[in-house]
Structure 1
Amino acid sequence: MTTARRTTTVFLTVLCGLLATIAGLAQQWPAWAWAVLAALLIALPALLFRAASLRRGPMPVSFEEQRTAAPVERNEHRISHVALPSQWADYDFVFSATVRWYLLSPEPGDLILNPAGLAVEAVLERARAVTEKREPTRPSLLQHELSGVLSRMLPDLTGHLQAMAEDVTVTLLQPDQERLDKLADVRKDKAVWEHQRTYEQSKRQYLGEDVLKDTGSAVVWWLAKHDEHVEKTVTDLGLLAQLTSAANDSDIPERLQHLVDEQLGHPAPAPSTMPDPLPADPDPQPADHLADFFDSMGYTAGDVRRSFLAKQVADLIRAQDQDEAADDVQRRFDQPPSFPADTTETLHDIENEAGHQPES
C-alpha cells in the first residue's frame, strides 16, 4: 500500500470513529458498546494494511535485477573527411560522423585493445554499402538517408561490440561539385538546343513538304487562310507558282508560265502573233528563277525581303540535300538589307504560319 492510501485509510477510520461517537452519545449507548467501538477503530486499519500487502505480492526478480544492474558504458569517437565511393568512378563522397559503441560480454581470454577501430570499421562498412549505389548529384539527400541507416546499434562482424553513428555529414570535394554543376548546365543547354533544332526542322519540313510542295498545295493553303479573298488568291497564282518552283529547285510548269508573265506585267501574246523566243539560258539555276520571282514582286536589290525569303528558300532546298543549289541561292542574295516601308502580306502570312506549327 502506498503512502497516500495509508493516509486515506487512517483519515476514514478517524472520521468513522467520530461519527460513531456522536451517534453513541445521542443514543446513550451502554458501556460495552463503547468498548466494541474502540476495538473496531484500532483493528480496522491494521486489517486493511495487511490485506493490501498480501494482494501486492513479492517484488519481481527481473525488476530487482534491473535496479541493481550496472549501466551500459557507451563510448564515442569522431571521424572526419573519410572518402566513400559513389556510383560514378572518381567521384567520392566526403563522410564525417560521431561513432558510438558499447562492448558486449567478451569471451574468456578474448582481449580487445582497440574497440574504437572495430566500431569505426563497422560504421564505415554500413555507410559504404549505401554510398556506392548512389550518384554524386544529391549529397544532402544522401546525408539524411545515412543518418537513418546508422541510427541503430548493430553488432560488428566480430560480435565484440555494437555500434552506431550520429551527427552525420556528407559532402563532395569542391572541384567535383563545380564539375557536376558545369555538367548539369551543359545538359540543360543541350536540351534547349535540341528543342530549337527540332523546331526548325519541323518548320522546314512543314514548308517544304506541305505548304510549298507544289503550286496546288500552296494555293489550297492560301485559300484556307484567306477564304474570303478568292480574287486576291487568283491574282497571286503567279507569285505562288514562282515561290514553289524556287523552293523545290524546279522549273515553272508551262501551264502556269502565263501567270508568271502576267505577274511581271508582260502578258503573253496570242499564238498567231507570238514572236520567236529569244535564246534562253540553256541551264538556268535556281537562283535565276528566284531572282525573276523577286523582280516580279518588285523586290529590288537591297530590299530586306529578298535576302529574308532567299534564306528561307535556301533552307528548304538544303533540307532536300541540294546543298550546292542552296549555297548558290544564299550567296546570290546575301547582302546588307535595306528595310522598305512595308512588307507583303504573303511573306508575312507564310512566316507566321510556319512559326506556329507544332513540333514533329
Structure 2
Amino acid sequence: MTTGCKTTTIFLTTLCGLLLTILGLTQEWPTAAWPVLAVLLVAVPAVAFKVAALRRGPLHVEVEEQRTDPPIERRELHIRRVALPSNWADYDFLFSATVRWYPLDAPGTDPVLNPAGLAVESVLDRARRITEQREPGRPSLVQHELSGALSTLSPDPAGHLQAMAEDITLVLREHDQERLTRLANVRKDKAVWEHQRKYEQSKRQYLSEDVLKDTGSAVVWWLAKHDDHVEKTVADLGLLARLTSAANDTDVPERLRDLMPRPYGEQPDAYETRETAPPVEQEPMPADLFEAFLASMGMTEEDDRRPMVAKQFADVLRTQDQDEIAEELLARLHPPTGFAPEAGEPPASAPGTTDGTPGASPSESFRSPESSKSSESSEPLDGTPDGE
C-alpha cells in the first residue's frame, strides 16, 4: 500500500468513527456497544493494511538494484581574479567564478588524475573566446554575458568531463578603470568642444555671408528682430553701416558716411562744414570798425598815417578805461619799427612834444590835409591874428 492509500484509509476510518459516535449519542445506544465500536475502529484499518501488504508481495534485491540510477559524482572549485584578454591591448578582465564538473565514462582513454584543472581549463577557454571580442569599458555587461554562456554543462575537448561556472565576477584592475574613466571624460569634452566649434563656425558664416553681407542685409535682419522699432532702426543706420564695413574689412560707402555717428567731442572737418553747415556771421570787432573808418577816410593800408592815428586813438581809449580795445588796435595797426614822424609833427609815442609842451589835441591831429592848408592860408602874412 502506498503512502496515499494509507492516508486515505486512516481518514475514512476516523470519519466513520465520528459518524457512529454521533449516531450512538442521538440513539442512546447502551453502554456495552461503545467498546465494540472502539475495537472495530482500530481493527478495520489494521486489517486493510495487512491485506494490501499481502497483495503486493516482496521485491527481489536484484530488481531494486537494477532500478537504482548510479549517483552522479559532482566536484567544484573556486577560482579568483584570473586575467582574461579584452579587445584592447594591455586591458585585461579579472575573472572569478565557481567551477563545477562531473566526470564522463570515456572507454579506451587514460584516467584523469586532475579533473579540477581540466574543468577550469575548459571554463576559461569558453570565457576567453567571449572576452577577447569585448571592449573593456563595460565589464558588468560582459559579466552577465558570461553568466549566461557558462551556465550550461559543456564537455571538454577530450570528453573526459562536463564543466560549468556560476557566481561569476568580472572586473578591471583599479588603475585600468581610472584610465578608462579619464579617456571617457576626454572624449566627452572633445565632443562638446567639436560641437561648440561647429556652432561658432556656423554662426560666423551666417553673420558674414548673410546678415552682414552689406548694409541692406543688416537692416533687414535688424528689422526682422525688432519690427516694432522702425524709428530706432532708421536712427541706427550709421551704426549698422559701420558694423557691416568692419565685418567685411571695407570702407563705409560714401552715401552712408553722413549717417555715421561721431565720437563725443569730435568736430566735422572744414569740407563738411562748408557743405553741410551754413556760414555763421560774426559780430565785427572794434578794430574792424576802426579799420573800415580809416578806409572810408581814404587811408589805405600803404598810408603811413594809419599807424600814427591808431596809436593816438589807442591813447585816448586808455583814458576811457578801454585798455582791451586799445591793445587790439595797437596789435593790428601799430606803427612799424623805425617809423619817424615828419617835421613839425609830434612823435607817435606821446601826445605832446619832446620838450614837454603840449602838442596838438587828437581832434586837431585828425584834421585832413585840406583843412590844414585852409587854416594856414587864413592867417595874415605878418603873423598877427585877425582883428588886431
| TM-based fold match above 0.5 | yes
Shift of 1:50: 9.2
- 1:135 CA displacement: 0.7
1:127 is displaced (CA, Å) by 0.6
Q: Is the 8 A contact 2:106 2:159 kept in 1?
A: no
Matched ranges for 1:1-360 at <5 A: 1=1, 2=3, 3-8=6-11, 10=13, 68-108=68-108, 110-260=110-260, 266=268, 267=272, 269-270=274-275
Deviation at 1:81, TM superposition (A): 2.6
Letter in 1 for 2:198: T
Render the CA deviation track for 1:56-91: whole Å, top value 9, x for unaligned.
Answer: 9999x9x95697334222112232332211112221
Contact between 1:79 and 1:98, CA under 8 Å: does it hold in 2? yes
- Separation in 1, partners of 2:215, 2:262: 16
Letter of the aligned partner of 1:185 in structure 2? N
1:53 Cα shift? 7.7
Q: What secondary structure, in the 3-state scheme, does the structure 1 residue paired with 2:169 have?
A: strand
Counterpart contact for 2:94–2:170, Cα < 8 Å: yes
Identity %: 65
Say if 1:65 and 1:181 are closer, same or farther in 2 by CA, change over 3 A: farther
Deviations 1:71-122 (A, max 9, x none): 2221122323322111122211111222111111231453112211210111
For these two proteins, the number of residue pairs brought into alignment is 261
Q: Structure 1, residues 332-355: CA drift from partner, whole Å, max 9, x if none?
A: xxxxxxxxxxxxxxxxxxxxxxxx
Output the CA distance in 1 between the equivalents of 2:259 and 2:19.
Answer: 130
Q: Which amino acid aligns with 2:71?
A: P
Runs of 4+ in 1 over 6 A off after TM superposition: 12-20, 43-59, 261-265
Change (3 A) 1:144 1:221: same
CA RMSD across the alignment: 4.3
Give 1:174 deviation, angstroms.
2.5
* 8 Å contact from structure 2 (residues 10, 45) kept in 1: no
SS in structure 2 of the partner of residue 201 of structure 1: helix
Whole-Å separation in 2 of the counterparts to 1:260 and 1:56:
122
2:119 and 2:162 in contact (8 A); partners too: yes
Query: Are 2:126 and 2:150, in contact at CA under 8 Å, matched by a contact in 1?
Result: yes
Instruction: Flag the structure with larger Rg.
Output: 2
* 2:356 aligned partner: none
The amino acid across from 1:114 in the alignment is N
Does the 8 A contact of 1:102 with 1:162 survive in 2? Answer: yes
Unaligned regions of 5+ residues in structure 2, if any?
31-40, 279-388
**TM-score if structure 2 supplies the norm length?**
0.55
SS of structure 2 residue aligned to 1:112: coil
